[in-house]
Amino acid sequence: MVHQSATFDNEGDAACLNALYKHMRTAKWYPTVKVLESSLADAGWRVTESISAPTLVLTSGDLGLRYALDASDLARIRDVMTVEFGESNNVFRLTPSGFLADLHYRIFTCVATP
């Protein structure tokens, strides 16, 4: 099986994007690579290869359209995320009028375990 998923190498990056999606009032949740590999193993898959895929850069405008967020929602999210995670980290950056979020992906090649 080949599985591609949004996932993060470290807990801090996962926590940042999970907070962003919570503030956008979504139920999405992104695991760390370690947690996803463990979940795959629990489901009967052994990961034989794991490689990084291109990062998806999400703009606040695009997220606003996707999740029906207005300008005040996006401003609130920008402010809250800045307080919680600061301006310089691996996955959330401020822009003059909003923010950018980096959604990291990995491709997992797996084989079924007996």
Task: Read off the pLDDT of residues 82-95 as tens digits, 9 standing for 90 and up.
Answer: 999 986 678 999 99
Q: Which domain holds residue 64?
A: 2-112
Q: Confidence class of residue 20 from pLDDT cuts 50, 70 and 90?
A: very high
Residue 49 has pLDDT above 80, yes or no: yes
* Mean pLDDT value of segment 43-59: 96
DSSP state of 109: E
Position 72: which residue type? S
Instruction: Copy the structure tokens of residue 47.
Output: 């990961």
Task: Read off the pLDDT of residues 23-47 as tens digits, 9 standing for 90 and up.
Answer: 999 999 999 999 999 999 999 999 9
Which three-class secondary structure state does DSSP give residue 24? Answer: coil
Query: In the chain, how many domains are there?
Result: 1
Q: How far apart are CA 44 and CA 53, in angstroms?
A: 23
